[in-house]
């Protein structure tokens, strides 16, 4: 069966399905960066963390035959990068942004070097849950096959929002991120809190990378991420450091990325490359719309470099 059976009704369905697939890495990386930035630290090295997560997840899945062990390995690789970022940034006169860029380049290079033996082999992919078996239409069934990692992200976003507002852990992270002086007065170990937060953020970013290699597109190759890690950092600013808004913003970016293939499925091929550039154009538009000082800083943790 083809998309002709649904005609133009297939376009919103394809955009929805594409949004769910494409948004998953954005969702995990942005939630991870949200935790990191809530503690008052920026990690621009998430592109390297994402690629390392994709490579290590694919390698462990191939070597063990278990994709979920691959997801765990990807998270651990991301956490190691997070701890490295936090440890270097805790030194005096070290800039978060410079360290992040250095680790981004290091992570991409290391992943390409270690991942060369895994370009050709086929690793087991993550399973998808078929929510469309009620339909006789193959396009509907394919569109409603949703990966379990997306569903975990759907649960994680409101859970993080609740934790930031209602738990002692959330209060400590927000206090450290809003005022280091107040956190010191309350007896909190600032570097320890930021290291834990950056490691947790790296863990989630690594899991986001494992989705790329183990589900969509479901293979390991150099250039797999296409800048999704660094785009997710802009997405966190757009979402005002709110985990639930990170979820909706991720869906928006995912839908923008799915627009080109969806239109192509109904025969619209002119301007294909322009539609494929929609996520990047959307990123630029968002940065322009949020460049006002008042709008940009709304909800920003007080200890972030951009607020001082």
Domain 7-289+297-304 bears CATH identifier 1.10.3470 = yes
Mean pLDDT of all residues in 187-211 = 95
Closest CA to 260 of 18, 5, 20, 27: 18
Q: Which residue has the higher pLDDT, 135 or 267?
A: 135
Residue 290 phi, psi dihedral angles, 5° rounding: -105, 15
Residue 168 phi, psi dihedral angles, 5° rounding: -65, -40
Mean pLDDT over each residue of the chain, to the nearest integer: 87
Between vectors from CA 244 to CA 223 and to CA 43, what angle results, nearest 5°?
A: 45
Q: Please, what's the b/e burial string for 136-148 (b: 16 or more CB within 10 A of its CB; e: otherwise)? A: eeebbbebbbbbe
> What's the pLDDT score for residue 2?
46
Residue 1 has pLDDT above 90, yes or no: no
pLDDT, tens digit (0-9, with 9 covering 90-100), for 106-127: 999 999 999 999 988 889 999 8
Ramachandran quadrant class, 7 (left: phi over 0; alpha: psi -120 to 50; beta: rest): left
Domain boundaries, the chain: 7-289+297-304
pLDDT, tens digit (0-9, with 9 covering 90-100), for 156-169: 999 999 999 999 99
> What's the pLDDT score for residue 62?
94
pLDDT above 90 coverage of the chain, percent: 56
């Amino acid at each position: 069966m083809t998309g002709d059976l649904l005609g133009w009704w297939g376009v919103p369905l394809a955009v929805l399905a594409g949004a769910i697939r494409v948004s998953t890495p954005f969702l995990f990386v942005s939630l991870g960066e949200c935790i990191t930035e809530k503690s008052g630290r920026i990690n621009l090295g998430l592109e390297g963390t994402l690629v390392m997560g994709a490579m290590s997840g694919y390698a462990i899945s191939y070597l063990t035959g278990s994709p979920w062990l691959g997801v765990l390995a990807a998270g651990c690789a991301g956490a190691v990068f997070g701890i490295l970022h936090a440890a270097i940034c805790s030194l005096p006169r070290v800039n978060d942004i410079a360290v992040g860029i250095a680790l981004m380049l290091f992570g991409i290079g290391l992943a390409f070097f270690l991942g060369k033996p895994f370009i050709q082999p086929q690793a087991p992919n993550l399973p998808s849950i078929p929510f469309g078996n009620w339909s006789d239409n193959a396009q509907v069934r394919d569109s409603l096959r949703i990966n379990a990692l997306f569903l975990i992200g759907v649960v994680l976003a409101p859970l993080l929002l609740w934790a930031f507002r209602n738990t002692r852990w959330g209060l400590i992270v927000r206090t450290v991120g809003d005022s280091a002086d107040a956190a010191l007065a309350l007896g909190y170990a600032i570097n320890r809190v930021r290291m834990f937060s950056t490691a947790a953020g790296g863990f989630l970013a690594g899991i986001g990378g494992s989705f790329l290699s183990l589900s969509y597109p479901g293979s390991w190759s150099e250039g797999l991420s296409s800048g999704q890690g660094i785009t997710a950092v802009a997405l966190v600013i757009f979402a005002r450091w709110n985990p639930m808004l990170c979820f909706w913003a991720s869906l928006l970016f995912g839908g923008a990325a799915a627009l080109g293939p969806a239109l192509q499925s109904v025969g619209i091929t002119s301007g294909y490359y322009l539609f494929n550039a929609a996520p990047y154009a959307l990123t630029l538009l968002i940065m322009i719309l949020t460049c006002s000082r008042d709008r940009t800083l709304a909800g920003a943790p007080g200890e972030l470099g951009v607020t001082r």
